[in-house]
Amino acid sequence: MQVVEKSNEGLSRVIAVTIPAAELNQKLDAKLKEVAPQMKLKGFRPGKVPTSHVKKTYGRDLMGEIINTAINETSQKALDEAKLRPAAPAEMKLTSDMEKVIAGQDDLAYEMSLEVMPDFTPTDIKKIKLERPTYEATDADLDEALNELAGQAKSYEDKKGKTVKAAEGDELTIDFLGKLDGEPFEGGAATDAQLVIGSGRFIPGFEEQLKGAKVGEEKTIEVTFPEEYQAKHLAGKAATFDITVKAIKAEVAAKVDEDFAKRIGLESLDKLKELLRANLNQQYTGAARFKLKRALLDALDKAHDFPLPPKMVEAEFDGIWSQVQADKDAGRLPEEDAKKSEKKLKEEYQKIAERRVRLGLVLAEIGRANNVQVTDQELNQAIMAEARNYPGQERQVLDFYRQNPNAAAQMRAPIYEEKVCELIFNTAEVKDAPITKEELLKEEDEA
């Protein structure tokens, strides 16, 4: 094998590899001697097929296998000998006449174009100084959570008063009959239907026109179905609904007491409070971890400045920009981004892409230097957790990850990152810093 570095510009390399035809032919001869005694061909006794006949019949296929194996083995060997660490899989380009190579008449020659990992020394993680935000759930937080839980367990009771009228938030029981041009349409009628004014469950304008209605009242309302309505024969059509109001109920929040705790399956109110407080503290711990990690990434980003593999940055930017475009098309682009020009947005997201690539390389290097590994058990647990998000399709999800190494690698990456971050947290100088709940829960960009 002959290895020549044809190009060396920045982090880009082009490596030319040549494997002599004599070496390939030697491997083919060895392969033929190995398989010939096992051949069973018509007209020949078992194990007595001449090597020349096997070569004539199967030589091309066998040489193809030898070439593929040779490329895989020699490409990695060439990288190892040159002490190069690819930032991404190399692009392979065959430069020899493959028909002649397969025929054993020409050397196998190919080129590898790749970007290598930048050479840098990561900062000493023992010297990193961080503040870990801390916050414990207070009694006021617990009361707020209890009230929220009670609100979720709300019920409705008949509205009382001399003149009962439907208002926002009330639950109505109604009969209705929908008509197009005065004729009832399929699917437009219901009996004893329940409707909460303001819930948005019915088409726009329907619920609003029931405000002020009384029990026993009959009224006709006019509405227009949305242009994107799922029933195509109704989309964009004007319709009327004859409505009879049969009952009006007002929302009643559940009372948080011992009976309430037992209704949701707990033995006491104290147990409910204990579980709620633990859940709140778990949420606050997660938010604190996010802020601590963000502070770490900011510190690492500030401490490192080295050339980045252009194709890695380009791939990261393309992924970010495709999501930006999707958000823009769906009208989900944040208001501050919607006001900016495309040029300005691209400049900003280019910097984000560079930051992500830089931090990825830094974390990878720190992990490599400290022998951080993701075990098969950890990966399998993550895949199992992902599969549980698709009830009834768990087997298909598991098979997908087993059959797609790239997908499994994508699943492995965040696990590796978290393990490296945990290593740094345990090694760096980290001090607790109490903060308010508002500061803890303040949203930050995940750049």
CATH code, domain with 96? 3.30.70.1050
Residue 417 placed within a domain: yes
| Structure confidence by residue, pLDDT tens digits, 273-319 | 999 999 999 999 999 999 999 999 999 999 999 999 998 999 999 99
Question: Distance between CA 165 and CA 167 in Å, rounded?
Answer: 6
Residue 352 placed within a domain: yes
- Structure-token pair, residue 387: 């599969």
Q: Please tell me which residue, 246 or 51, carries the higher pLDDT value.
A: 246
Asked if 213 contacts 219 with a C-beta cutoff of 8 angstroms, the reply is yes
Question: Distance between CA 71 and CA 69 in Å, rounded?
Answer: 5
Strand, helix or coil at 177? strand
Q: Considering its fold, how many domains does the chain have in total?
A: 3
345 and 247 inside one domain: no
- Structure-token pair, residue 47: 């194990």
Residue 68 placed within a domain: yes
Closest alpha carbon to 25 in 54, 3, 55, 48: 55
Mean pLDDT across the chain = 91
Confidence of residue 82 (pLDDT cuts 50, 70, 90): confident
Asked if 94 contacts 112 with a C-beta cutoff of 8 angstroms, the reply is no
Dmax (CA) for the chain in angstroms is 108
Asked if 252 contacts 157 with a C-beta cutoff of 8 angstroms, the reply is yes
Residue 279 placed within a domain: no
Asked if 329 contacts 381 with a C-beta cutoff of 8 angstroms, the reply is no
433 and 295 inside one domain: yes
Residue 294 placed within a domain: yes
For residue 230, give the CATH number of its domain.
3.10.50.40
187 and 111 inside one domain: no
| Structure confidence by residue, pLDDT tens digits, 251-277 | 887 888 898 899 888 999 999 999 999
Residue 149 placed within a domain: no
Strand, helix or coil at 273? helix
Q: Where are the alpha helices (DSSP H) in 82-190?
A: 98-102, 139-152
Strand, helix or coil at 226? coil
| Structure confidence by residue, pLDDT tens digits, 429-438 | 999 999 999 9
pLDDT at 267: 92
- Structure-token pair, residue 69: 């194996």
Residue 436 placed within a domain: yes
Question: In this structure, what are the phi and psi dihedrals at residue 119, rounded to the nearest 5 degrees?
Answer: -90, 110
| Structure confidence by residue, pLDDT tens digits, 162-200 | 789 999 999 999 999 999 999 999 889 999 999 999 999
Listed residues 86, 115, 144: the one ending a domain: 115
Query: 65 CB contacts (<8 Å, ≥6 apart)?
Result: 31
309 and 213 inside one domain: no
Question: Distance between CA 432 and CA 242 in Å, rounded?
Answer: 64
302 and 429 inside one domain: yes
- The domain of 397 spans 288-441
For residue 320, give the CATH number of its domain.
1.10.3120.10
165 and 81 inside one domain: no
Residue 142 placed within a domain: no
